[in-house]
Structure 1
């Protein structure tokens, strides 16, 4: 029995070390009241828009304000692609993408059961056969490894409570060479009429996703208010 002690001590040390690294990754402190008391790489994490914000997600003026049709054109979707709409919410983008993938699929991923219920009702009502709702967790997208051609995140990444863990999970689910398209309101532009904490800069986004192993490809700078940043899984 005495021979087990070194291994038990080693396991305990490694466990504590991993816990310490995880704890040090995030800072707990106050800041903008529209955010949570948690910071990552110098950025305060915003509060999550819950299912109570569905009306805002589905607002009539969204096409005019965000030029959704141009965003979809930026994605260069090809028939047969497997696309994950991360933080799909009401399914606003998922519904549009489902009509573009042909024999492919759109995985509408969200952390809220209420959003998944809304998505299921939308699929029935609009007869959207290519959408697969997926209930995720705060740390995992709940998708199999190496299965997704492209991931789309529209105004959602800045709300992740565990951005590093989620980035690792997304990277794992992407196929080699797969693309992650990060759409965020531009913090560099003070004229964008969105709360500061719900914006991100290009530099901050690159810093955070690079830490999880993504490679920055380009920023398609043609949307009215948002960055359209493309990252690759090498």
Structure 2
């Protein structure tokens, strides 16, 4: 083999290696047959955890050190979260679960509307719940209840909530099917789930790919746990707002 041929082989190998690094969603090996709904892969996106659910890689959780991002002053201008609240059709006695509540940004904006109800602010990070407790005292809002969840369980009583809201949170759930099953049990008959996610269909939305979701993917995953899609509102600058409902089996 000539020196030139050896160089060509080396170049080809380097190109193959680069392609593998730039295509993180390619599996390192075929998944072994399993009844498990999750698949672990060794080659994955740097912003993912290497676990896949229904063809989607799960994103890394934004830790409590990112609390400042949630409370940034320009969030209303960028995302217009007040529009989310305006279309939730909340009633004064409703019980709303803010899943992945973080600092309680949405919780504390919803709570004043629930004059006879409350917001259950659910998160897996105790540090986030500490921030919520701090804001409860600072804002003098008593109807926000922090709840520590686990990776697989939102820790909500059966038939206890009217609405579960997830704003930019669902894509980070490490066990999405398990958590959704827990949420469905916690919903009252005909209770709603509202998911807000950055639009994965739009490559020009400058959010990391794994922190965006397409409407098609969300609807597929919600259908898998028995939720019924009701509507998608594209009233937000960068996000889908998708409404699902728990079937009322008593009707």
TM norm structure 2: 0.83
From 33, 39, 60, the equivalent of 1:27 is 39
**Matched residue of 1:21: which SS?**
coil
The answer on 1:145 being equivalent to 2:158 is yes
How much has 1:21 moved relative to structure 2? 2.3
**What's 1:56 paired with?**
69
How much has 1:174 moved relative to structure 2? 0.4
From 120, 134, 149, the equivalent of 2:133 is 120
List alignment gaps of at least 5 residues for structure 2: 1-33
Equivalent residues in 2 for 1:36-55, closer than 5 Å: 36-55=49-68
Quote the RMSD (CA, aligned, Å).
0.8
Alignment coverage as a number of residue pairs: 213
Question: Do 1:107 and 1:132's aligned partners in 2 also have CA atoms closer than 8 Å?
Answer: yes
Larger of the two Rg values belongs to structure:
2
Question: Do 1:74 and 1:220's aligned partners in 2 also have CA atoms closer than 8 Å?
Answer: no
Equivalent residues in 2 for 1:1-234, closer than 5 Å: 20-22=34-36, 25-29=37-41, 30-234=43-247
How much has 1:32 moved relative to structure 2? 1.1
Give structure 1 regions of 4+ aligned residues with deviation exceeding 6 angstroms. Answer: none
TM norm structure 1: 0.89
Which has a greater percent of helix? Answer: 1
> For residues 175 and 205 of structure 1, what CA distance do their matches in structure 2 show?
22
Q: What CA deviation, in whole Å up to 9, does each residue of 1:110-133 have, x standing for no partner? A: 001111111111101111111000
